[in-house]
Chain A
């Protein structure tokens, strides 16, 4: 490990080659080794804090600001090293390097704000300029530092990609404390930041110091970024800030839950990332952390309970199915109504039904099979179906809701009778029981319960 990290370290115990044995894996995952435990713990707390404060960064739409911030930290690291060497130090004091990083990072953010305020450039352009210029400047300075006779600057490059193994034990305490404080502040400022992110103008009118709150948010993000540099690296730290809250959003509509989930996802990414990195030293923790949280993100995007793609498709499919079934029932009712034969058996004919609406023969068959399974229809052969008593009741209920809704639209919403069928069609399938009761209450006197009012319009081949 020391061959990989020129900065002397008493870091975690790791195996030297890729040949892993089970014992080592178990040791790392169960945090048996004290140093490994410290590294993993620090990365987990870092992930927790980043996910939590990242939630507000995301909701404030400042995601890319975090990226500019971290990239602008590179020149600060190089400059801090030079300054410390110039004053006779070794240049390896971690707090010194991190202070340098924070200073140029914030300068970068200030440059973005200055460009957007003083010119007519939009912030994406300003972010692009600042991010690349500061980073390029940092790379150039690192090159100069490499040639300096004094000091041993080789470890500085690990700030770019991150390497948990290069973290010294006392730096771990720094990470733990700073990330812990950030997480605590995020909870304390929950209400204030929530208001700031939702409605800045309203917050200002209430007397909240919006600028101060923004600075606090930025300070917390800067703190997480600075202490995360060594573990995750300045290129990938943005992933730890943004991906966990973005993934959490798919699971909940509540900010508190989103924040907790984001912290959890960040912490999980930190745990797995640091563990794997401890086992396979050539794999930088930052990359593993990004892969872990990105996997969680993709899974959340697809399967998230609230906003996930699959959940939405299922809701849509269910609605579509309900609509088609109600259409069938209404078509059945209209047939029975038109036949108007009191004593004859209510029969519907498949060949006639298929012309009623723009449904395919196959789709109609599927619906008819569903109706038979539900004992709403009974096949009498030859494409003819008898409507059961249950089927009649259900069909009447659906037709009644449809017509009540039509009548409501005509009398209370000024919709022309010729348009009412189409408008009614769009809404009635999503009428909940409460709305139906409301409709009934409104229209009760004219249309008592249990009766189906006559259709307010002519039932054509495509309507009804």
Chain B
């Protein structure tokens, strides 16, 4: 499933044009020739791939590899220097309802005056629409989402009084309540406790069982083979993309992480475990 270098080069010579045959028309997320730059310094280059439907896809790569930027660029949160993004075959702005986003936990102020239920209800605001108040039906949906992440007992808790892992689960519930088809999650496993990690993994599996597609920025190489059936190895460019069993190899990891051998050791152990 990795893009051949030749076709990518060809694609670069035709900017802003759909690359045609190699892209699946109904892929949940189809990224064409995307480059993102901050202050003229490119952060990610020539990303060109289709995320296949119904897969749990992990995005891994070293710090500064552009993992979060990739997700944000797909969601129009950072400007793209070039390229386009299709969600289920149509431009993303037309498909917002089908996409849910879990940002990094540090991006919001947890001292904000709201409780867990209120935060999750925010996931429904898009459906509720302008000026309309939140109704009982939406709060019930939010409660159900809290239950799916095991946080139903904390609905009335002010969000600053939740632990980091609980905050992460509430964030996840806010995305679940949107009932989307494609989920983009930015480091949901960062700094969480074991119970939260289990809860999130369960949610990911449930989503997959329901036919949803999930893209997760991930930092822990050891758990990649157990959590994700597809993996995107990213270091400013796509190093490898495909089923975990095929592309999560020592060779590809070395290409992704360069000389960081300690990480490779961790990965080697993980692969040994996965193959067992």
Closest to B99 in A: A205
Does chain A have a CB within 8 A of B103? yes
Assess whether A195 is in contact with B125, with CB atoms less than 8 Å apart: yes
Selecting from B44-52, B54-62, B109-117, B139-147, the interface stretch reads B109-117
Alpha-carbon distance A202/B77, docked complex (angstroms): 9
Whether A204 lies near B76 (C-beta < 8 A) is yes
Decide yes or no whether B75 CB sits under 8 A from chain A: yes
Whether A191 touches B133, Cβ cut-off 8 Å, given contacts A202-B103, A255-B114, A258-B113, is yes
Which residue of chain B has the shortest Cβ distance to A245 in the bound complex? Answer: B113
Chain A 165-213 residues near chain B, CB threshold 8 A: 188-189, 191-192, 194-195, 197-199, 201-208
Known: A188-B131, A191-B133, A191-B134. A202 touches B122 (CB 8 A): yes
Whether B126 pairs with A208 at a CB distance below 8 angstroms is yes
- Interchain CB contact under 8 A, A206 and B114: no
A249 / chain B contacts, CB cutoff of 8 Å: 113
With A254-B113, A255-B113 as contacts: A199 and B77 at CB distance below 8 Å: no
Complex CA gap A205/B132 in Å reads 19
Give the CA-CA distance A323 to B179 in the complex, in Å.
46
Contact status of A205 and B115, CB under 8 A, knowing A195-B125, A199-B122, A253-B158:
no
Least distance between B254 CB and chain A CB atoms (Å)? 32
Instruction: Tell me if A's interface is mostly helix, strand, loop or mixed.
Output: helix
The interface residues of chain B lying within 8 Å CB-to-CB of A252 are: 113
Cβ of B108 and Cβ of A198 under 8 Å apart? yes
With a cutoff of 8 Å between Cβ atoms, the chain A residues found around residue B248 in the complex are none
- Count class of interface residues, chain A: 20 to 34
Q: Which residue of B lies closest to A252 (CB)?
A: B113
Please indicate the chain B residues that have their CB under 8 angstroms from the CB of A199 in the complex.
103, 107-108, 122
Cβ-defined contact, A201 with B101, below 8 A:
yes
Residues of A with C-beta under 8 A to B75:
201, 204-205
Closest to A206 in B: B126
Structural contact, A205 and B77, CB atoms closer than 8 A: yes
Q: Are B115 and A254 in contact (CB under 8 A)?
A: yes
Say if the beta carbon of A59 comes within 8 Å of chain B.
yes
**Chain B: interface residue count, which band?**
20 to 34
How many angstroms between the C-alpha atoms of A199 and B131 in the bound complex? 18
Q: Kindly provide the distance from the CB of A301 to the nearest chain B CB, expressed in whole angstroms.
A: 15
Q: How far is the CA of A459 from the CA of B96 in the complex (A)?
A: 61
Is B122 within 8 A of A198, CB to CB? Answer: yes
Looking at the complex, which one of A189, A194, A201 makes contact with B131 (CB distance below 8 Å)? A189
Residue of chain A at shortest CB distance from B93: A207
B93 shortest CB reach to chain A, Å: 8
Q: How far is the CB of B206 from chain A (nearest CB, A)?
A: 22
Indicate if the CB atoms of B112 and A198 lie closer than 8 Å: yes
A204 near B77 with CB under 8 A, answer yes
The minimal Cβ–Cβ distance linking B137 to chain A, given in whole angstroms, is: 15
Q: CA of A360 to CA of B223 in the docked complex: distance in angstroms? A: 50
> Closest chain B residue to A192 by CB distance?
B130
From known contacts A189-B131, A253-B158, infer whether A202 and B101 are also in contact, taking CB-CB under 8 Å.
Answer: yes
**Minimum CB–CB distance for A455 against chain B, Å:** 26
B274 at the interface (CB under 8 A from A): no
B158 contact set on A, CB distance < 8 A: 253
**Shortest Cβ distance from A415 into chain B, in angstroms?**
13
- For B75, B100, B114, the residue with the greatest tally of chain A CB atoms inside 10 Å of its CB is B114
Tell me whether A207 and B131 are in contact (CB under 8 A). Answer: no
Docked-complex contact B99 and A201, CB < 8 angstroms: no
A residues in contact with B178, CB < 8 Å: 206
A198-243 interface (Cβ within 8 A of B): 198-199, 201-208
Closest to B101 in A: A205
Task: Point out the residues of chain A lying under 8 angstroms from B96, CB to CB.
Answer: 205-207
Query: Is B261 an interface residue when CB atoms closer than 8 A count as contact?
Result: no
- Asked if B128 is at the interface of the complex by the 8 Å CB criterion, the answer is yes
Q: Please tell me which one of the listed residues B107, B115, B133, B134 contacts residue A253 in the complex, with CB atoms under 8 A apart.
A: B115
Rounded to whole angstroms, the CA-CA distance of A189 and B109 in the bound complex is 21
Q: How far is the CA of A207 from the CA of B99 in the complex (A)?
A: 10
Task: Report how far A254 CA is from B97 CA in the complex, Å.
Answer: 28
A197 interface neighbour in B112, B130, B132, B133, Cβ under 8 Å: B112
Q: Which residue of A lies closest to B74 (CB)?
A: A205
Residues of A within 8 Å of B100, CB to CB, are: 205
**Residue picked from A194, A197, A199, most chain B C-beta under 10 Å:** A199
B44-88 vs A, Cβ < 8 Å mask (1 yes, 0 no): 000000000000000000000000000010011100000000000
Bound-complex Cα distance A204 to B122 (A) = 12
Shortest distance between the CB of A242 and any CB in chain B (Å): 16
Per CB-CB distance, the 9 closest pairs between chain A and chain B, nearest first, are A206-B126, A253-B158, A207-B96, A205-B101, A255-B113, A199-B108, A205-B75, A198-B112, A258-B113
In the assembled complex, 17 residue pairs joining A and B whose CB atoms fall closer than 8 Å, in A order, are A188-B131, A191-B125, A191-B128, A191-B131, A197-B112, A199-B122, A201-B77, A201-B101, A202-B103, A205-B77, A205-B96, A205-B101, A206-B125, A206-B126, A206-B178, A252-B113, A253-B158
Mark B residues whose CB is within 8 Å of A. 72, 75-77, 93, 96-97, 99-101, 103, 107-109, 112-115, 118-119, 122, 125-126, 128, 130-134, 158, 174, 178
